[in-house]
């Protein structure tokens, strides 16, 4: 049954449909995130599940060469999003605000056993343009999602119901296959504020330089990589550009992970072959596991019920809308005058890194619950004037202007436990560069202070 709701992140009225392939595993009791209710039988009968699933249209493709299906690789690097902790996802503002346990579904505690033939047939039946090859690296990723990451899959199934309309629209406009909507599953586990060890950020894990290339503003105050809408449109354009370069979607996906240069090197070393599986062993180890992880994500997000995994259910989202701000404004001012808690403001506006909208120097959109938009408008100047000296003294305004208009560098706020080495690795710079940019004579840093950084 379709859920009538307003899409939180795009501020427009939508009818949100369940994800294709989503259905209840068992119509009984609710699972708990930490103590999963166990069905009477851990193994779901293949025949029963297959007969209840609606037929998916079959896409005619070229036969998959046997050498692709026999690839084995025991040296795969686990994708970063597949090694994360579930707690960080479930404790996010998005999960706590918009997701709940499905009270009509009972998950199995263990993963059912299926033959290789079943996996091959299920992948072949997916209506995808990307070749859904089944082999040992793909099976390894499927097993990881279906066992260790079962709870994470439940979270992602719930979050996908919010992001799917946004992602599908952008992919459609740029002519990108619909199945690439599952790329954020392996990039960020659908966490809009995720930051990788290398500093890639947001749903689509844009690096600093790539984000700049696709028009995503990044400075010490604003990071559009964390804006789900802007980042999604940038990612769709980037993927289309990669496909136009290589003429193959599996290579475009690989290049999204390791860059066009590494894919070109692999093509050259393979003697000019132009399919991911033909150049597999010439690619970086992480990228060798990246396309298999994408295939596995597409599989598990479609066939989760067959594996006894229950999606988390979305709550009715609050209606939201946006208003453009062209003056300096602090979240504390909005919270006080409009009676909104700070976590809601941060959750709806993750692109503002320091709770400040530098509208005077860089106009930006503010997303609010719909019932607060009227309050904001009627408040007029009272919001901007609230404790203005506290937030925007003359000295502070000068600093904000510099931060908002200087795109050459950003400021990093030092967190407890960080060192110059860990910060340097995150931004792909050297410790000596950090010292030079900040006038440091030693490697000693203090939590709460800021470092000027020129990211690569």
- How many Å from the N-terminal Cα to the C-terminal Cα in the chain? 47
- φ, ψ for residue 89 (rounded to 5)? -75, -50
3-class secondary-structure state, position 201: strand
Q: Which helix (H) or strand (E) holds 344?
A: helix 342-348
- φ, ψ for residue 318 (rounded to 5)? -70, 145
Q: Rounded to an integer, what distance in angstroms lies between the CA atom of residue 283 and that of residue 274?
A: 12
Q: How far is CA 287 from CA 101, 206, 251, in A?
A: 34, 16, 10
Tokens at residue 32, please?
Answer: 């708990």
DSSP class of residue 181 equals G
> 184 near 190, Cβ under 8 Å?
yes
Catalytic-labelled residue, pool 80, 187, 306, 313: 187
Beta strand ranges found along 107-224 (DSSP E): none
Nearest to 138 by CA among 67, 69, 60: 69
> 212 near 222, Cβ under 8 Å?
no
> 141 near 82, Cβ under 8 Å?
yes
Active site residue 187: yes
* Pairing between β-strand 364-369 and β-strand 320-325 as defined by DSSP bridges: antiparallel
> 349 near 367, Cβ under 8 Å?
yes
Instruction: Please list the residues that pair with 452 across neighbouring strands.
Output: 411
Q: Rounded to an integer, what distance in angstroms lies between the CA atom of residue 137 and that of residue 32?
A: 31
Task: List, in order, residues 6 or more apart from 40 with CB less than 8 Å away.
Answer: none
Q: Mind giving me the DSSP string for 349-401?
A: -TTBTTSEEETTTS-EEEEEEHHHHHHHHHHTHHHHHTTHHHH--HHHHHHHH
Q: Which residues participate in catalysis according to the annotation?
A: 187
């Amino acid at each position: 049954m379709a859920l009538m709701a307003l899409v939180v992140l795009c501020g427009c009225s939508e009818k949100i449909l369940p994800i294709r392939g989503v259905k209840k595993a068992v119509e009984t009791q609710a699972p708990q995130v930490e103590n999963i209710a166990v069905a009477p039988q851990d193994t779901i009968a293949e025949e029963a599940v297959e007969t209840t699933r609606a037929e998916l249209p079959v896409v005619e493709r070229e036969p998959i060469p046997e050498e692709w299906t026999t690839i084995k690789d025991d040296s795969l690097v686990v994708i970063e999003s597949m090694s994360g902790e579930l707690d960080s996802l479930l404790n996010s503002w998005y999960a706590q605000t918009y997701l709940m346990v499905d009270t009509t579904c009972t998950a199995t505690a263990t993963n059912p056993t299926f033959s290789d033939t079943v996996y091959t047939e299920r992948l072949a039946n997916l209506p995808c343009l990307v070749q859904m090859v089944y082999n040992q690296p793909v099976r390894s990723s499927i097993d990881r999602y279906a066992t260790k990451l079962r709870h994470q899959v439940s979270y992602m199934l719930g979050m996908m119901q919010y992001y799917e309309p946004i992602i599908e629209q952008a992919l459609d406009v740029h002519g990108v296959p619909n199945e690439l909507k599952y790329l954020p599953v392996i990039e960020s586990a659908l966490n809009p504020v995720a930051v990788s060890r290398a500093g890639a950020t947001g749903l689509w894990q844009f690096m600093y330089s790539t984000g700049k290339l696709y028009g995503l503003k990044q400075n010490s105050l604003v990071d559009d990589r964390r804006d789900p809408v802007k980042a999604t449109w940038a990612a769709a354009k980037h993927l289309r550009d990669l496909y136009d370069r290589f003429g193959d979607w599996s290579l475009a996906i690989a290049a999204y992970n390791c860059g066009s240069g590494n894919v070109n090197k692999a093509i050259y070393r393979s003697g000019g072959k132009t399919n991911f599986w033909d150049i597999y062993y010439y690619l970086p180890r992480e990228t060798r596991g990246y396309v298999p992880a994408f295939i596995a994500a597409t599989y598990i997000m479609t066939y989760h019920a067959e594996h006894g995994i229950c999606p988390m259910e979305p709550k009715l989202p609050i209606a939201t809308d946006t208003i453009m701000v062209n003056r300096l404004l602090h979240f504390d001012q909005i919270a006080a005058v409009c009676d909104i808690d700070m976590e809601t403001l941060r959750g709806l506006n993750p692109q503002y890194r320091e709770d400040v909208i530098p509208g005077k120097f860089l106009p930006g959109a503010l997303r609010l619950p719909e019932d607060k938009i009227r309050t904001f408008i009627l408040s007029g100047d009272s919001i901007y004037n609230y404790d203005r000296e506290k937030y925007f003294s003359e000295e502070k305004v000068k600093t904000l202007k510099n931060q908002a208009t200087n795109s050459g560098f950003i400021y990093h706020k030092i967190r407890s436990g960080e060192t110059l080495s860990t910060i340097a690795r995150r931004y792909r710079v050297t410790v000596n560069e950090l010292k030079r940019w900040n006038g440091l004579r030693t490697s000693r840093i203090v939590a709460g202070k800021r470092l000027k950084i020129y990211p690569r």
